């Protein structure tokens, strides 16, 4: 994995009560909580930042960062990629409306229409 790559989410998420979870646009109350670091990475995966920027940011969250923080974040990113919840690319990515913010900040009717227009549900 190249730390110069940008990372972006491919799933709708919610961020409430210090918990990040995957959300279903058709059933917004139906959520799937994510483990701590996975949730943090998904919430930060805006397509505007590189893996290195993520590593730097997470390192600053600790008085003494874990020695293996880079390897840990690489592992988290790889697992999210395998689950098709996150992708990497060489250039910045502008997320569509329905992926850009937590579900509770979206106009759900607008999001549903854009999802239909984009064919997002057919993607795998």
Confidence (pTM): 0.90
- pLDDT of 122 reads 52
Q: Find the farthest-apart pair of alpha carbons in the chain and give their distance in angstroms, rounded.
A: 47
C-alpha dihedral, 16 to 66 to 79 to 43, nearest 10°:
30
pLDDT in tens, 47-82: 999 999 999 999 999 999 888 999 999 999 999 999
Q: Domain ranges in the chain?
A: 6-122
- At residue 114's C-alpha, the angle toward residues 8 and 111, to 5°, is 80
What topology is assigned to 6-122 in CATH? Outer Surface Protein A; domain 3 (3.90.930)
Q: Could you read off the pLDDT tens digit of each residue along the chain, which spans 124 residues? A: 899 999 999 999 999 888 999 999 999 889 999 999 999 999 999 999 999 999 999 999 999 988 899 999 999 999 999 999 999 999 999 999 999 999 999 999 999 999 999 988 654 4
């Amino acid at each position: 994995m190249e730390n110069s790559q940008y990372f972006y989410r491919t799933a709708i998420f919610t961020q409430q009560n210090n918990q990040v979870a995957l959300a279903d646009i058709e059933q917004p109350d139906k959520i799937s909580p994510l483990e701590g670091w996975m949730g943090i990475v998904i919430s930060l995966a805006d397509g505007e930042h590189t893996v290195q920027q993520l590593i730097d940011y997470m390192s600053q969250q600790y008085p003494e960062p874990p020695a293996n923080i880079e390897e840990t974040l690489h592992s988290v990113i790889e697992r999210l990629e395998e689950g098709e919840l996150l992708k990497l690319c060489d250039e910045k990515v502008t997320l569509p409306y329905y992926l850009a913010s937590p579900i509770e900040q979206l106009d759900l009717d607008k999001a549903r229409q854009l999802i239909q227009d984009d064919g997002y549900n057919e993607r795998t």
